[in-house]
Every structure is written in structure tokens, then in C-alpha cells.
Amino acid sequence: MKNIAVFCASSSGQNEIYASEAKKLGEILAGKGLRLVYGGASRGLMNTVAEAVLQNGGQVTGIIPRMLADLEITKTECTEIIYTSTMQERKVKMIEIADAVIVLPGGFGTLDEMFEVLTLSRLGLFTAPTMLLNTNGYYNLLSGFIDHMASEGFLEKSSSNMLTICSSLEDLIEKIIKI
């Protein structure tokens, strides 16, 4: 495993724990020689994880749509920057490169990316592991809703298990390393 796609926010949230965990994740990825593949922004949690990887001698591939390059401000220090025409192309490229996916806290864009990966996994078109870091219980309600979808018959139990939810960064890294 070499390329870890990280889906997360271009904002930092209101609780410092989100940025702290993003920084730790970046440090760990660099320390283990894993390349970060992310949305290419120099803002929010995206910047925090990328900066931590770079500061610790790691490799970073930023993938950003040209339409967002100015809005999110492209992180030009990335090892590699890939520009796309659309958000959809960004997702496709990130998924294409990824050997595993880690989801950190975020908003609609982060959830869109995560559900795209899970849908492709369900269809057998993406086979890499998808891990969600539930920092500070951020995704508790989503986890409950996924269980609810399964209990109501809209999601097979095997599909609900395609997303590995980890309550700590240590648990997530342990599981990623075993894959």
C-alpha cells in the first residue's frame, strides 16, 4: 500500500481536536512512507494533513479542480499537483490512485466523496478499504443512520460493513497497516 486518499474539510471546524488529529495523521503517513492523496487545498483540515506530511518528509499528491484552485487556494508545495476540470474528475482521480481511503470530519463534499467510494465498493468497482475516523464522536449520528438503513432493509449488512469506523487514530492506523 502506498497511496492513501484522505477526504476531509477545507475548513478546520470549531474544535481544535479535528486539526490536531489531522496533523497526527499526516505525521504518521509520512513516517510510514505512505503518500497522501488529497483535495489539493491550502485551507482547513486538508492543509493541516498535507502540511504535516510535507514537514515530515512525506510525499503529497494534491488533486484540485481548476474552478476551486483560487477559492481553496492550491497548496503549491505539494510533491505533485493534478488539476481537473470538474469535481467529479477530482473524485475519479483520487479513487483511481488510492490504495486505501481515510475519511476525516468534513461537510457535504467529504460525505459526497465517501459515499461515492462506498457506492463503487458496493458495485465491486473499488476494492480498497475505506476507513472513517470518528474524531470526538463527529460521525456518531451517521454511524447510527447507516445501521438504520440496514435495519430498514435499504442496505445489506455486508454493505454496511464496507466502511470501517474507528474511534481513535491509533485504531485506524493499526487497521490500515494490517491491510
Domain ranges of the chain: 3-173
**Across residues 11-28, what is the average pLDDT?**
97
Question: Would you say how long the chain is, in residues?
Answer: 179
Q: What is the pLDDT of residues 115-138, one digit of tens each?
A: 999 999 999 999 999 999 999 999
Give the burial string for 107-145 (b: 16+ CB within 10 Å, else e).
Answer: eebbeebbebbbebbeeeebebbbbbbbbeebbeebbee
Residue 35 is predicted with a pLDDT of 97
Q: What is the pLDDT of residues 31-49, one digit of tens each?
A: 999 999 999 999 999 999 9
Residue 141 is predicted with a pLDDT of 97
Residue 1 has pLDDT above 70, yes or no: no
Residue 179 is predicted with a pLDDT of 66
**Across residues 8-26, what is the average pLDDT?**
96
**Across residues 150-155, what is the average pLDDT?**
92
Specify the higher pLDDT residue, 37 or 147.
Answer: 37
Q: What is the pLDDT of residues 57-104, one digit of tens each?
A: 999 999 999 988 877 688 889 999 999 999 999 999 999 999 999 999
Residue 178 is predicted with a pLDDT of 74
Q: Which CATH class, in words, describes the domain spanning 3-173?
A: alpha beta
Specify the higher pLDDT residue, 175 or 40.
Answer: 40
Residue 72 is predicted with a pLDDT of 67
Contact 103, 132 (CB under 8 A): yes
